[in-house]
Amino acid sequence: MKNGKISLPDNETLEFYEEIGDQHILTTLDTPLRSDAFHLNDEEKIEQIQEHFKEIMNILGLDLQDDSLKGTPYRVAKMYVKEIFSGLNPKNKPKIALFDNKYKYSEMLIEKNIVLQSTCEHHFLPIYGKAHVAYIANGNVIGLSKINRIVQHYAKRPQVQERLSLQILEELKTALNTEDVAVYIDAKHMCVSTRGIKDNSSSTVTTAYSGKFSEDITRKEFLAAIHSTQEY
């Protein structure tokens, strides 16, 4: 800040910022969070975000006295904390209950076409698509809905799709005590379709494999299953 005004970064820094976003760079497997990320409770965060978003709307020249707009800062703040970024808070992580694999089922179990809604951390625009997850039980199995909840938990934070795939993989490996896990995500990024290149037709595919799914024959079986079509 200089003379009471916020100064923009130099051109070289601005070019670097643009390159990071365009290249979809992943910097860490863990979502980057400060050590004091949860010093404020949800209501305190909503209150502060509300005020900051109100200022953004003021800078854009919007009339906050208009009936349609006056509640927008609060609605956005609540949505950020309670909904689309609720996965940042470890308190919201789904509790995982395991069950004995009494039937001794030893083949892969696939949960396909899980609806995925996330947010690009580079432009804060939506990511939406489908996730397909598989595992081979190692003595225990997990409730099917818990797989969906794990996907949704890690999706509900600012994300890079590569990181999201790996976070789901690692969470299931830990929860199930097995290395045999596969994750396949096919998603569209609104930062691609609404800005920059403005390509509405492309989607991004990321995969994460471990254990037996790293083997060609098992991976091919998984891919064949998720790409098959079935009418219900």
Q: Which residues carry out catalysis?
A: 120-123, 161, 189, 191
Between CA 188 and CA 121 the distance in angstroms is: 14
Residue partners of 75: CB distance under 8 A and separation at least 6: none
Print burial letters for 9-42: b (CB count within 10 Å at least 16), e (below 16).
eeeeeeeeeeeebeebeeeeeebeeeeeeeeeee
Asked if residue 132 lies in contact with residue 113, where contact means CB atoms within 8 angstroms, the answer is: yes
Beta bridge partners of 135: 109, 181
Angle at 60 between CA 55 and CA 62, to 5 degrees: 85
**For residue 2, what are its two tokens?**
């200089």
Residue 196 is given by DSSP the state T
Between CA 62 and CA 114 the distance in angstroms is: 38
Residue holding tokens 């790409």? 227
